[in-house]
Amino acid sequence: MVEASSFKGRDVVSMLDFNREEIDFILDKASEMKPLAERGSDLLKGRILATLFFEPSTRTRLSFEAAMHRLGGGVIGFAQPGVSSIAKGESFEDTIRTVENYADVIVVRHPEEDSAVRAAKVAEIPVINAGSGPWEHPTQALLDLHTIREAKGRIDGLNIALVGDLLYGRTVHSLAFALANYDVKLYLVSPPQLKMRRDVLEKVEGRLNYVETGDLKSILPELDVLYVTRVQRERFPRPEDYEAVKDAYRIDREMLRDAREDLIVMHPLPRVTEIATDVDETPHAWYFRQVRHGLYVRMALLALVLGAL
């Protein structure tokens, strides 16, 4: 049986490091955080979170900082590498070894895929991966699961589509790893140039029931969850390829007429044009509510790795 104490001091680097029992435990603890997210608490009073963002972020950084404040703790850090000693030529490892002297837990976002692993290796305090290049974003996957569970009451038995850029999108990689622990049918919907990374699929081979397709329209009526991601123009050498793809996966109210009434549309945000704003006011729209679940999940993670639960 999983116990809170088993998370104390632990790193949160990859969704692959957590089994189903542990994931469910984290999600349960996240639900318990809801009242504390409303009124605050002293659970982590006197403790310090360091947020080291080597890439810009609104959502993830503010979410972790809010989580720490709601638990009564303090926050230090930087929002971009220009204000850090990296600019003076310091190695990433040296920065981590320095900062761990000031904080009790480190949250790091970095453009390199192995950054979180490297940080966890040198740091004696817990490290939480807030985005390791195009590779993983495990806390996003946990908040995605928490949102699905809230909306649907369960994760098992659902038909879930991940749509958009499955090659470079770190959130869908972590989500695929997480969903491999559940009994779901997963549709991987993307243009051929942006199909799900092969090494992601290899790591969950035999554990994940998935179908790859480029045709969203034909599977839409079967879906319980439609998880949309941003397709970036820069991924396409030829502008016309981008234009074609952009339209093929753009979700609007018209298109959702073919969907189940209780389909939920999710998005890790920021969105640009891939979900029309006319969807925002429909009951399908869960992408803003989803943000709130990030707060719960991150509060739970901080409290767990700091041994406060």
Positions that interact with a second copy (CB under 8 A): 39-41, 45-48, 50, 53, 56-59, 62-63, 65-66, 69-70, 72, 74-80, 82-90, 94-95, 97-99, 101-103, 230, 269-272, 288, 291-292, 294-295
Query: Closest separation between CB of residue 118 and a second copy, Å?
Result: 13
Rounded to the nearest 10 degrees, how much is the dihedral formed by the CA atoms of 95, 98, 99, 105? 110
Query: Closest separation between CB of residue 46 and a second copy, Å?
Result: 2
Decide if 284 contacts 264 (C-beta within 8 A). Answer: yes
Q: Which is nearer to a second copy, 76 or 211 (CB)?
A: 76
Q: Which is nearer to a second copy, 41 or 132 (CB)?
A: 41
Query: Closest separation between CB of residue 62 and a second copy, Å?
Result: 5
Decide if 162 contacts 227 (C-beta within 8 A). Answer: yes
Amino acid at 228: V
Query: Closest separation between CB of residue 123 and a second copy, Å?
Result: 11
Query: Closest separation between CB of residue 189 and a second copy, Å?
Result: 22
CA-based torsion, 194, 199, 202, 208: positive or negative: negative
Query: Closest separation between CB of residue 20 and a second copy, Å?
Result: 27
Within 8 A by CB and 6+ apart from 226, the residues are: 161, 163, 220, 251, 259, 263, 264, 265, 266, 284
Query: Closest separation between CB of residue 40 and a second copy, Å?
Result: 2
Q: Which is nearer to a second copy, 19 or 80 (CB)?
A: 80
- CA angle, corner 50, sides to 47 and 51, nearest 5? 140
Write 240-247 long-range contacts (CB < 8 A, 24+).
241/191, 241/193, 244/191, 245/191, 245/193, 245/194, 246/273, 246/274
Q: Which is nearer to a second copy, 201 or 269 (CB)?
A: 269
Residue indicated by tokens 């590498």: 81
Decide if 289 contacts 149 (C-beta within 8 A). Answer: no
Q: Which is nearer to a second copy, 37 or 184 (CB)?
A: 37
- CA 69 – CA 40 distance, rounded (Å): 8
Query: Closest separation between CB of residue 254 and a second copy, Å?
Result: 20
Decide if 164 contacts 307 (C-beta within 8 A). Answer: no
Q: Which is nearer to a second copy, 94 or 113 (CB)?
A: 94
- CA 309 – CA 299 distance, rounded (Å): 11
Q: Which is nearer to a second copy, 97 or 203 (CB)?
A: 97
- CA 246 – CA 248 distance, rounded (Å): 6
Q: Which is nearer to a second copy, 239 or 270 (CB)?
A: 270
Amino acid at 1: M
